[in-house]
Amino acid sequence: MSAQPRWDPDFTPYVINAMGPKTPERARVILGSLIKHIHDFAREVELTPAEWMMGVEFINSIGQISTPIRNECHRICDVIGLESLVDEIANKIVTEQGLSPTSNVILGPFWSPNAPFRELGDSIIQNPLPNGQVTWMHGRITDMETGKPIAGAVLDIWQASANALYDFQDPEQSENNLRGKFRTNENGEYFWYCYHPTAYSLPTDGPAGVLLNLMDRSPMRPAHIHLMITHPEYATIINQLYPSTDPYLGIDSVFAVKNDLIVEFKPKTDDPKATLDLEYNVTMALKKHHPNPNSAPPVSSFERFNKGQKL
The answer to whether 81 touches 255, Cβ cutoff 8 Å, is: yes
Question: Binder to a second copy among 1, 50, 171, 307 (CB under 8 A)?
Answer: 50
Nearer to a second copy, 8 or 119 (CB): 8
| 1-40 residues near a second copy, rule: CB under 8 A | 6-8, 11-12, 14-15, 18-24, 26-27, 29-31, 33-35, 37-40
- Residue 36 sits at φ, ψ, to 5 deg, of -60, -45
Nearer to a second copy, 100 or 126 (CB): 100
Nearer to a second copy, 30 or 311 (CB): 30
Q: CA-to-CA distance for 224 and 239, rounded, in angstroms?
A: 10
The answer to whether 256 touches 106, Cβ cutoff 8 Å, is: yes
Provide the H-helix boundaries in the chain: 11-16, 25-45, 49-65, 72-79, 82-91, 207-214
Question: Binder to a second copy among 95, 201, 275, 301 (CB under 8 A)?
Answer: 301
Residue 250 burial (10 A CB sphere; 0-12, 13-18, 19+): exposed
Q: Between the CA of residue 6 and those of 2, 10, 34, 43, what are the distances in Å?
A: 8, 12, 22, 10
Given the rule CB under 8 A, which of 59-67, 128-136, 159-167, 264-272 is the region that contacts a second copy?
59-67
| 207-246 residues near a second copy, rule: CB under 8 A | 214-217
The reply on whether position 297 binds a second copy by CB under 8 A is yes
Contacts of 147 (CB under 8 A, 6+ apart): none
Nearer to a second copy, 65 or 262 (CB): 65
The reply on whether position 99 binds a second copy by CB under 8 A is no
- Size, binding site for a second copy by CB under 8 A: 81
Nearer to a second copy, 66 or 204 (CB): 66
| 104-163 residues near a second copy, rule: CB under 8 A | 107
Q: CA-to-CA distance for 235 and 224, rounded, in angstroms?
A: 22
Nearer to a second copy, 9 or 147 (CB): 9
Question: Which amino acid would we find at residue 97?
Answer: Q
| 195-214 residues near a second copy, rule: CB under 8 A | 214
Question: Binder to a second copy among 2, 45, 130, 259 (CB under 8 A)?
Answer: 45
Question: In the bound complex, what is the minimum distance in angstroms from residue 233's beta carbon to a second copy?
Answer: 21
- Measured from the Cβ of residue 288, the count of other Cβ atoms closer than 10 Å reads 10
Say which DSSP state 117 is in. B
Question: In the bound complex, what is the minimum distance in angstroms from residue 261's beta carbon to a second copy?
Answer: 15
Given the rule CB under 8 A, which of 70-78, 130-138, 168-176, 278-286 is the region that contacts a second copy?
70-78
- Measured from the Cβ of residue 302, the count of other Cβ atoms closer than 10 Å reads 18
The reply on whether position 305 binds a second copy by CB under 8 A is no
Question: In the bound complex, what is the minimum distance in angstroms from residue 25's beta carbon to a second copy?
Answer: 12
Question: Binder to a second copy among 2, 3, 10, 66 (CB under 8 A)?
Answer: 66
**Site pattern 79..98 for a second copy (x: CB under 8 A):** -xxxxxxxxxxx-x------
Question: In the bound complex, what is the minimum distance in angstroms from residue 215's beta carbon to a second copy?
Answer: 5
In sequence order, what DSSP letters do the residues of 119-161 get, joined into one string?
-TT-B--SS--TT--EEEEEEEEEETTT--B-TT-EEEEE---
Coil, helix or strand at residue 50: helix
